[in-house]
C-alpha cells in the first residue's frame, strides 16, 4: 500500500517506537521545550495522534537550565510486562529512566543512570535488562557501551563494556543512537554514524551474544548522503519494530531540505519497510523516500487542522523551559496571557509563550487577539519561532506612546514594518509555504489584508539547530503592571499535503 513520508511532519527528531499488541507508541526529542518527550499513538503506523508527554511536571527535570538545543535529547521507549519505560539524556542532568503503566500520563520521577554518553536505549531479554549508550572506553575511541541495569532504580548491575566501535574504528564517525535487539539467534546493534546532517547514516552489527563480539554489516542500512532529487536528506537515527503481521519496519529521522540537508521545519519522523536478507536488515534501495510502498493495512489520512480548546492545556502546546503557570489562564472560551518581562530573545528566559510544531511546509496559523497595551515595550501576538536567536513576531505593540500592528524579526536582516492599529481585537494569520511566509490581518471581521511577504528563517539567521519551526502565541512587556492579552481563538490548518 502506498503512503507518504514523513509520518510525523515538523520538528520530531530522534524517533523511537514500540508495539503493544495492535498498538504502537512513538516518542521524539523535545530539547528546551516543555512538556518533554511527546508520546504518539497509532494502530496502523501511518496515522498518529499525540496522547501525552513523558515529562509534564515542573519538578521532574531542571528545565530552567535548558538553553537552545539543550534540554531533552534522544529518548527510547520500550514495553515490558505491563510497564512502559523511557530513557533519554537531559543535558546538565545526565541519563535517566522513567516508567508508567499508561503512556499517556502518570510517568514516574526520573531515576538517574550513572553512565555517560548520549542516546541511551534499553533491551529486555531473558529476565535481564541491558542499557547502552555511546560511552567511550579506556582507548577513548568512539564506541557503543553496554551494561546490565535495574530499570526501576537506575542501578548498574555490571561494569559497562565496549561492544562496538562502529563500521570504521580508526577515525571519529559521530557514533550514536544505539539500539540492541534480540531477533532469532542474533543480537543486532543498530546505530547512527556521520553526524545528524548531510552525512547521516544508519549502520548495523550483530553477535551471538549480547556482549559481543559484534561483526559489522558489510552495507549501510540507510543513508541519503549519496543521493540527489529524492526530496530527503540527513536520514539516520532509526529504531526497528515488528508489526502484528510479522512485517518489520524502521522509523528514522530525516529532513525535507530547502538546500543541502537543511530544512526550517527541522528533522522529522519517517517510516520505511524492512526486509531480511542473509539475516541482515535491508531497506529497499538503502535510501529514504517521500513516497513509499509497504505492507500496510490502513489508508493514511493526515490530520489537516488543529483547533485550540481553551478549557484545558492540550498536550500539543509547547512552552519554553519551565513555564510560569500564573501567566496562563485557560478560561474555556478564551486564554488570558499575562505579558512577561522575560522576552523571547532571552537565552535562558521563561517568556509567556505557547506554540505548536509547524504542521507542514504549506499551512496557516490564525489567532484572534484582543490586546491594547498601555506601556511602551509591550506586545502580544503570533510568533514563528526557531530559537531565541531566530524568530519572527507578528503582533500588536506599544511604542512611543502609540499602539501599532507590527512584523519584526530576530536574526538576519529585516526592516520592521509597522502601521497604527485600532483598539479592540484583531485576527492575525500567517500563511506558510516552503519559500515564504505571508502575514495578513483583519479588524472587525473584515476581509484579510495581506501585509508583507518574507522568506522563512534560514540556516544563516537561525543556525543549523537541533529543533525546528514552531508557530504560536506570546506576550511580553516592559512594565510589570501591563494588561493581559485575551486570546479568543487559535488554530493551524494545512493549506495542502504538499511534498
DSSP 320-346: ESS--GGGEEE-BS-EEEPPBSS-TT-
Burial class of residue 19 (count of CB atoms within 10 Å of its CB; 0-12, 13-18, 19+): middle
Neighbours of 402 (CB within 10 A): 11
Show the cell assigned to 218: 558489510
Nearest to 397 by CA among 417, 432, 371: 371
d(CA 302, CA 466): 25
> Apex CA 432: angle with CA 429 and CA 438, to 5°?
55
State CA 418 to chain mean position distance: 33
Neighbours of 186 (CB within 10 A): 17
Q: Which of 148, 176, 366, 388 is catalytic?
A: 176
Output the CA–CA distances (angstroms, integers) from residue 280 to 125, 202, 218, in the order listed.
20, 13, 10
Three-class DSSP category at 477: coil
- Is 285 known to be catalytic? no
- Is 388 known to be catalytic? no
Three-class DSSP category at 144: strand
Q: Which helix (DSSP H) or strand (DSSP E) does residue 461 occupy?
A: helix 459-462
DSSP 406-435: EEEEESSS---EEEE--SSEEEEEEEE-SS
> Apex CA 489: angle with CA 488 and CA 495, to 5°?
155
DSSP 39-105: EEEESSSS--EEEEEEE-STTSS-GGG--TT-SEEEEEEEEETTEEEEEEEETTTEEEEEEESSTTS
* Contact of 129 with 149, CB cutoff 8 Å: yes
Residues labelled catalytic: 14, 176
Amino acid at each position: 500500500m502506498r503512503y507518504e513520508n514523513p509520518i510525523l511532519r515538523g520538528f520530531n527528531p530522534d524517533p523511537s517506537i514500540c508495539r503493544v499488541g495492535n498498538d504502537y507508541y512513538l516518542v521524539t526529542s523535545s530539547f528546551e521545550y516543555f512538556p518533554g518527550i511527546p508520546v504518539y499513538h497509532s494502530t496502523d503506523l501511518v496515522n498518529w495522534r499525540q496522547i501525552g508527554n513523558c515529562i509534564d511536571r515542573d519538578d521532574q527535570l531542571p528545565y530552567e537550565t535548558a538553553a537552545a538545543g539543550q534540554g531533552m535529547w534522544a529518548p527510547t521507549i520500550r514495553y515490558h510486562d505491563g510497564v512502559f519505560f523511557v530513557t533519554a539524556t537531559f543535558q546538565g542532568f545526565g541519563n535517566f529512566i522513567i516508567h508508567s503503566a499508561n503512556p499517556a500520563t502518570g510517568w514516574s520521577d526520573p531515576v538517574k543512570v550513572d553512565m555517560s554518553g548520549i542516546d541511551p536505549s534499553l533491551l529486555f531479554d531473558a529476565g535481564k535488562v541491558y542499557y547502552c549508550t555511546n560511552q567511550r572506553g579506556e582507548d577513548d575511541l568512539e564506541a557503543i557501551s553496554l551494561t546490565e541495569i535495574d530499570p526501576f532504580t537506575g542501578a548498574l548491575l555490571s561494569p559497562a563494556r565496549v561492544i562496538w566501535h562502529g563500521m570504521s574504528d580508526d577515525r571519529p564517525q559521530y557514533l550514536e543512537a544505539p539500539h540492541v535487539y534480540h531477533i532469532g539467534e542474533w543480537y543486532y546493534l543498530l546505530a547512527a554514524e556521520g553526524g545528524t546532517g548531510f552525512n547521516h547514516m544508519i549502520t548495523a552489527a550483530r553477535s551471538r551474544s549480547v556482549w559481543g563480539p559484534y561483526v559489522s554489516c558489510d552495507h549501510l542500512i540507510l543513508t541519503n548522503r549519496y543521493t540527489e532529487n529524492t526530496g530527503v536528506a540527513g536520514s539516520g537515527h532509526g529504531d526497528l519494530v515488528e508489526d502484528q503481521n510479522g512485517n518489520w519496519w524502521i522509523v528514522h529521522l530525516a529532513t525535507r531540505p530547502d538546500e543541502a540537508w537543511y530544512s526550517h521545519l527541522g528533522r522529522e519522523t519517517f517510516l520505511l519497510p524492512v526486509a531480511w536478507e542473509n539475516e541482515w536488515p535491508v531497506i529497499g534501495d538503502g535510501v529514504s523516500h517521500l513516497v513509499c510502498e509497504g505492507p500496510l493495512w490502513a489508508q493514511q489520512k493526515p490530520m489537516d487542522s488543529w483547533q485550540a480548546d481553551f478549557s484545558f492545556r492540550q498536550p500539543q502546546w509547547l512552552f519554553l523551559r519551565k513555564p510560569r503557570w500564573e501567566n496562563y489562564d485557560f478560561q474555556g472560551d478564551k486564554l488570558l496571557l499575562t505579558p512577561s518581562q522575560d522576552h523571547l530573545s532571552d537565552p535562558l528566559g521563561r517568556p509567556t509563550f505557547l506554540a505548536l510544531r509547524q504542521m507542514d511546509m504549506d499551512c496557516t496559523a490564525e489567532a484572534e487577539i484582543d490586546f491594547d497595551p498601555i506601556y511602551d515595550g509591550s506586545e502580544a501576538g503570533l510568533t514563528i519561532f526557531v530559537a531565541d536567536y531566530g524568530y519572527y513576531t507578528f503582533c500588536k505593540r506599544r511604542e512611543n506612546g502609540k499602539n501599532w500592528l507590527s512584523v519584526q524579526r530576530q536574526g538576519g536582516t529585516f526592516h520592521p514594518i509597522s502601521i497604527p492599529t485600532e483598539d479592540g481585537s484583531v485576527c492575525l494569520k500567517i500563511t506558510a509555504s516552503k519559500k515564504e511566509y505571508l502575514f495578513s490581518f483583519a479588524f472587525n471581521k473584515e476581509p484579510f489584508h495581506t501585509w508583507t511577504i518574507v522568506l522563512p528563517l534560514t540556516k544563516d539567521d537561525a543556525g543549523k539547530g537541533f529543533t525546528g519551526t514552531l508557530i504560536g502565541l506570546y506576550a511580553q512587556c516592559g512594565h510589570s503592571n501591563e494588561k493581559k492579552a485575551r486570546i479568543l481563538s487559535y488554530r493551524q490548518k494545512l493549506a495542502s499535503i504538499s511534498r
